[in-house]
């Protein structure tokens, strides 16, 4: 066991504060990593504040981790000391079911093990995330960060990046397709970049007129203010895909009507019941598809990093001192960040 500095929440209302945790001794297939940067995801807030009723306290959030290998177990083949690597949203799975065999560990039939607030499959301890000095992870759940990437901006690719890249690849977005991206946050701005790199014509849907200029700056070909009925009517039945990144309840029906026949509406942000109810006729009479997608498997997570290096794609980030994490959470709730906070872990190690 290794004593490790971290930031943890002790209850739904405590906020995050310094807390020492113990990292396990490396197993034969483990990679030990000194954490340099950790992205801050809205999911971190949900777990810290127990919004979903499943948090085990103390909880150390963080699943967008980039750092350097400090040691490897004797069974490790792909990594060595000094390599720059990443760890995303999961650190284990059953490794034997059909989903795991297909490299889709996020859909493991027996449940993936989350990077934090998960149960270790070997010793049944609760996993702790990247708001910490170091982490120990099985080789299978570690990815290599290409040299071309800015490692600070690469951290959010391990969640926000793969969450938007995976469905676009899975549903075959390509040149000639028209893609609508709903929402302009951490997920949405990455969705624009990936859809453009895949050759699609991309439209951002935003509720705010003030975001039109920023959407164009991010590379959107067009912007639709979704609260404007005339603008929504003008784009009815025109899109092949809608990538829905909004993380709170919202009316899906107006967006479904923007799809052409055989169009697909992909939910990647919403984990709550759909309100108001869906108008099923909008699906039936146009053979539209309402779909969901969760992060990506380990092969695809490596693929998205390589894709970003090839196409010069990165996440727009604001660097953060971990001692300001509670203020950052409040700003995130207000949408006051463009578009992802990334913690410089030196502020923990030196603080």
How remote is the C-alpha of 272 from its chain's centroid? 17
Instruction: Check: CB of residue 142 under 8 Å from CB of residue 86.
Output: yes
How remote is the C-alpha of 316 from its chain's centroid? 14
Residue segments in the chain with a per-residue pLDDT below the cut of 70: none
Instruction: Check: CB of residue 175 under 8 Å from CB of residue 198.
Output: yes
Closest CA to 90 of 71, 59, 64, 51: 64
Around Cβ 130, how many Cβ atoms within 10 Å?
31
Q: What is the pLDDT of residue 272?
A: 86
Q: What is the pTM of this model?
A: 0.95
Show the domains of the chain with their CATH numbers. 2-159+316-349 (3.90.180.10), 161-292 (3.40.50.720)
Closest CA to 166 of 54, 305, 55, 297: 297
The whole-angstrom separation of Cα 1 and Cα 130 is 17
Q: Return the HEC string of 207-261.
A: CCHHHHHHHHHCCCCEEEECCCHHHHHHCCCCEEEEEECCCCCCCCHHHHCCEEE
Q: What is the pLDDT of residue 210?
A: 81
183 conformational bin, left if phi > 0, alpha if psi -120 to 50, beta if neither: left
The whole-angstrom separation of Cα 89 and Cα 271 is 16
| Averaged pLDDT of the chain | 96
């Amino acid at each position: 066991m290794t004593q490790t500095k971290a930031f943890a929440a002790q209850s739904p209302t405590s906020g995050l504060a310094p807390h020492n945790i113990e990292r396990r001794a490396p197993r034969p297939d483990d990679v030990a990593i000194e954490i340099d940067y950790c992205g801050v995801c809205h999911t971190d807030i949900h777990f810290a504040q127990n919004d979903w009723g499943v948090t085990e306290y103390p909880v150390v959030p963080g699943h967008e981790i980039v750092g350097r290998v400090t040691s490897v177990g004797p069974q490790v083949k792909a990594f060595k000391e000094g390599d720059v690597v990443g760890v995303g949203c999961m650190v284990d799975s059953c490794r034997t079911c059909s989903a795991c065999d297909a490299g889709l560990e996020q859909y493991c039939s027996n449940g993936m093990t989350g990077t934090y607030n998960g149960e270790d499959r070997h010793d049944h301890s609760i996993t702790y995330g990247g708001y910490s000095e170091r982490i120990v992870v099985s080789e299978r759940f570690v990815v290599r960060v290409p040299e071309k990437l800015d490692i600070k901006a690469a951290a959010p690719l391990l969640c926000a990046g793969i969450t938007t890249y995976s469905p676009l690849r899975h549903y075959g977005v390509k040149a000639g397709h028209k893609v609508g991206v709903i929402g302009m946050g951490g997920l949405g701005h990455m969705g624009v970049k990936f859809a453009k790199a895949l050759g699609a014509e991309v439209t951002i849907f935003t509720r705010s007129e003030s975001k039109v200029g920023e959407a164009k700056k991010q590379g959107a070909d067009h912007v639709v203010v979704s609260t404007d009925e005339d603008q929504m009517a003008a784009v009815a039945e025109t899109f092949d895909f809608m990538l829905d990144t909004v993380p709170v309840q919202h009316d899906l029906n107006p967006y479904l009507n923007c799809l052409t026949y055989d169009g697909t509406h992909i939910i990647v942000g919403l984990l709550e019941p759909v309100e108001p109810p869906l108008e099923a006729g909008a699906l039936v009479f146009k053979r539209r598809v309402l779909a969901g997608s969760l992060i990506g498997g380990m092969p695809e997570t490596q693929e998205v990093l390589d894709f970003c290096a090839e196409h010069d794609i990165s996440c727009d980030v604001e660097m953060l001192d971990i001692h300001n994490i509670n203020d950052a959470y409040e700003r995130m709730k207000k949408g006051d960040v463009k578009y992802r906070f990334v913690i410089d872990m030196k502020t923990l190690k030196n603080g």
